[in-house]
Amino acid sequence: MNMIETHNLTKSYGSFTAVSRLNLHIRKGTVYGFLGPNGAGKSTTMKMFLGLTAPTGGTFQIDGKSYPRDRTAILKEVGSFIEAPSFYGNLTGEENLDIIRKILGLPKSSIEDALRLTGLAEFRKRPAKKYSLGMKQRLGLAGALLGRPPVLILDEPTNGLDPAGIHEIRSLIRSLPEQFDCTVLVSSHLLSEIELMADDIGILNHGRLLFEGTLDSLRSSARISGLPSDNLEDTFLAMIDGDNKCRGRQKGGADR
């Protein structure tokens, strides 16, 4: 069963198409790695899932609920972390989480739970503006994990973390489906990172989905297409490069 499904999801800004006819299938209880270079449309897609930006075409369902009809019901089920950590700098980490807790109608114990999961418990009373970049990132994650939502949307969650922090957060994300029975959509521009935590991956370039499936199917698909398959990073780069060249040829043909 798919937890998130999109049908020809499109987002355009004037003549620029950020996301083009996207068809994603994210299975329940899995970690789905959303991969693509900077500007591929990953964050835009995630923002559409959260209602932060309106799609210009297509539809999507999260846990069987459709946007925009069930917007509030969708947001009740989704924990999110988009682009950079969002918080109130004048409030402490604990106060920031308390605001989210009140809106979601969760018990007070959920704050303790989220702080412990992200390793922020000892810094709970410190104003968020005095947090280091890594701590801000953890606070953003704590906000997403609050109440253990059934769907987690995480946009480059390990940005700004030190190697130990990256390892810790990666292990946490990897363990979430099993621990909390949730589905995780996590984006990155590094295949090496996604490789270590995702069950399925989707590769996006210039708003178009180039590949969707398991890592094994990516390897076999690369082998069939004559792309390097020993190192997945090389496969990814070759795939993006091939698509860019193809787009360049199409554009050149259209210009002529």
Partner 1 sequence: MTFGIEIKKLKRTGYLPACLGAAALAALFPAVNMAARSETFTVMPGAPLDIVTDASWQVMAMLNVMLLICGACLMYHIEYADSGIQKMSSLPVRPGQIFFGKAAVTALVMAVSLVLETSALSLCADRWFPGFEPDIREIFIRAGFQWITLLPTGVLMLLIASLCRNMWVSLGTGIILVFTLSVLPTDNPAAAFLPFCSPFQTFSSASGQGLIPAFIAVCLTESLCFGIAELICQKLRRYFE
Note the residues at the interface with partner 1 (CB under 8 A).
13, 47, 50-54, 56, 72-73, 75-76, 78, 80, 82, 84-91, 95, 98-100, 102-104, 127-129, 143
Which residue, chain included where needed, has tokens 């199409």?
A: 250
Closest separation between CB of residue 56 and partner 1, Å? 8
Nearer to partner 1, 101 or 227 (CB): 101
Nearer to partner 1, 139 or 227 (CB): 139
| Helix, strand or coil, per DSSP, at residue 90 | coil
> Which residue lies nearer to partner 1 by CB, 54 or 246?
54
Which residues are CB-neighbours of 175 under 8 A, at least 6 positions away? none
Cα(197)–Cα(200) distance, rounded to whole angstroms? 9
Cα–Cα distance measured from residue 8 to residue 188, given in angstroms and rounded to the nearest whole number = 22
Please tell me whether residue 141 adopts helix, strand or coil conformation. helix
Minimal distance, residue 106 CB to partner 1, in Å: 11
Cα gap 242→210, rounded to integer Å: 10
Closer residue to partner 1 in complex, CB, 102/167: 102
17/56 with CB nearer partner 1: 56
Q: How far is the CB of 53 from partner 1 (least distance, A)?
A: 5
Q: Shortest approach of partner 1 to residue 87 CB, angstroms?
A: 5
Determine the Cα angle at 230 with ends 228 and 232, to 5°. 80
- Taking the complex as a whole, the smallest distance from the CB of residue 14 to partner 1 amounts, in Å, to 10
C-alpha span between 182 and 31 (Å, rounded):
9
Pick the closer one to partner 1 by CB: 89 or 248: 89
Give the residue from 88, 83, 115 showing the smallest Cα distance to 99: 88
CB-based burial, 82-91: b 16+ in 10 Å, e otherwise? beebebeeee
